[in-house]
Amino acid sequence: MTTIFDELLAAFRDYLESRADVPTVHDFLADIDWAMPARALDPKAIPGSSLLDRTVDLASGATRPLAALLARHRDQLRWGQTYTAADFGQHFVDNYGWVELFGTRGHFDNDTVAAGFLVLGPGIEYPDHHHIAEELYVPLTGGTEWRMGDAAYRMRWADEVVHHATNVDHAMRTGTEPLLALYLWRGGPLAQRSTITANRGAE
């Protein structure tokens, strides 16, 4: 029986394989064994899940099917939040969340690569942070500014591939619209809490 999780994993894979022309995507794909066992997880909601409707409108032609599938099945997914209001304030917590599709704690079990989706509401800054794992993001919606290392913020659009090397600071800042992005992690502890750099001590 095909579950909504199988469907989401297949759509994630299709989209990622469509971007295999990008060397970093090709490289991550080589590490993913798609025959992953499903993991039964209780669904968990976040306040920001209503943002997903708008992200479907904002998605590109290529990313809309994946964004729409995620929005349609949002209530069956286990959404998470790494940060609390004590970290970045209540507004952040109300406008932020992620779901791990596969990884050490996701809807599918994978010890090598973790992947999922991040949603951020409008007017949110996810400040400088870093982690050991190497990371790929592909924004499924445009209009968010991204920065890495010492570089300035730069606007990124849907279907762009954003690569964060191990332990290099990176940050995102949404504008007037929400962000939906897919992410992949590998090469480090796959459930590690990021270290926040900006104006804060190491966590």
Which position has the token pair 């796959």?
A: 190
Is residue 41 within 8 Å of 116, Cβ to Cβ? no
Cα separation, 150 vs 141, whole angstroms: 24
Q: How far is the CB of 10 from Fe ion (least distance, A)?
A: 25
> Judged by CB, which is closer to Fe ion: 169, or 177?
169
Q: How far is the CB of 151 from Fe ion (least distance, A)?
A: 15
Instruction: For residue 111, give the 3-state DSSP assignment.
Output: coil
Q: How far is the CB of 135 from Fe ion (least distance, A)?
A: 5
> Judged by CB, which is closer to Fe ion: 143, or 188?
188
Kindly state the DSSP code that residue 78 receives in the 8-state scheme: B
End-to-end CA distance of the chain: 43
Q: Is 202 exposed, middle or buried (0-12, 13-18, 19+ CB in 10 A)?
A: exposed
> Judged by CB, which is closer to Fe ion: 56, or 120?
120
Q: How far is the CB of 78 from Fe ion (least distance, A)?
A: 20
# binding residues, Fe ion (CB under 5 A): 1
Residues within window 124-163 making contact with Fe ion, judged by CB under 5 A: 135
> Judged by CB, which is closer to Fe ion: 50, or 160?
160
Chain residue at closest Cβ approach to Fe ion:
135
Q: Which residues bind Fe ion (CB under 5 A)?
A: 135
